[in-house]
Structure 1
Amino acid sequence: MSVGTYRKLKTKMGPPHILVIPFPAQGHVIPLLELSLCLVRHGFRVTFVNTDHTHNRVINALPENSIGDGIRLVSIPDGMEAGEDRNDIGKLCAAMPKVMPGTLE
């Protein structure tokens, strides 16, 4: 797609929108959040989807107003019960496909 075509589409349709869903394990969330911030600076809108557990950790760790308006942070359940060990990647990988697709619109 040429730059001119992209600009025409952007004018007609608004800025492009990206859905970002990091795997809820150590080392995946922050790099994708940084990529999302970079994309926002280039005119994209981002919906950043975390599991409820990870979402709460991210919200508590972020300085106030550090995300801005270009990124919408949302959360969905991961399929595990409260208190279950989310470091057990096998359990987490088994639970996520059972719950997450039905809650992601």
Structure 2
Amino acid sequence: MGKPHVVVIPYPAQGHVISVMELSQNLAKQGIKINFKVDENGLIHLLSVPDGLEDGEDRNQLGKLTESLYQVMPTQPKELIHKVNGLNDDKISCVLVDIGMGLALDVAAELGIPTVGLWPAAVLQLAVLLKVPKLIDDGLIDENGNTYLVLF
């Protein structure tokens, strides 16, 4: 068996990509082959997955980008994984996924590849997102995100 081989799938927003790229570079320095971007050692390779938006569409509209990603995500990671595994003998040993791209976790699990979820954004944001169902149950927000909580 060759060196460990990780496919990294960040959410395509600057703060997510930069954080996950830094982690990927550190993993590559430890001898782990990363499919993400090319560096001088050839340990990190850039792969692209279509985001579903047309050329010229504004990718800064995160709601529109996320909606489009969720339409293409069920098929794209599977095709990417099969493509990467077919390129060489170093089969993918792990898929590291930005939680913002959570559907890729399901794809890797379906293919029997170990996964790691990463949240590169602020931990407070994650804590709030994880509590949304309870906030809805408690009547503090509704299903549309309208809040009834008053902060002083």
TM-score (norm: length of structure 2)? 0.47
**Kindly, what percent of the aligned residue pairs are identical?**
50
Matched residue of 2:13: which SS? Answer: coil
Equivalents in 1 of 2:40, 2:63: separation in Å?
32
The whole-number CA distance in structure 1 between the counterparts of 2:69 and 2:53 is 8
Structure 1 distance, partners of 2:66, 2:73, is 11
Aligned AA (2:32): F
Who wins on radius of gyration, i.e. which is larger? 2
Counterpart for residue 99 of structure 2: none
1:21-66 CA distance string (max 9 Å, x none): 11111211122111111111111001118xxxxxxxxxxxxxxx74
Q: Which residue of 2 aligns with 1:89?
A: 62
Partner letter of residue 6 of structure 2? I
**Residue identity opposite 2:13 in structure 1:** A
Q: Which runs of 4+ in 1 moved over 6 A?
A: none
C-alpha root-mean-square deviation of aligned residues, in Å?
1.8
Pick closer, same or farther for the CA change 1:77–1:67 going to 2, 3 Å: farther
Deviations 1:58-95 (A, max 9, x none): xxxxxxx7453100111111001111111111111110
Q: Which residue number corresponds to residue 74 of structure 1?
A: 47
| 2:10 alignment partner AA | P
Aligned length: 78
Q: 2:11 matched to 1:27?
A: no
Structure-1-length-normalised TM-score: 0.66
Does the CA-based 8 Å contact 1:37-1:67 persist in structure 2? no
Match of 1:47 in 2: 35
1:16 corresponding residue in structure 2: 4
Q: Is 1:103 equivalent to 2:91 in the alignment? A: no
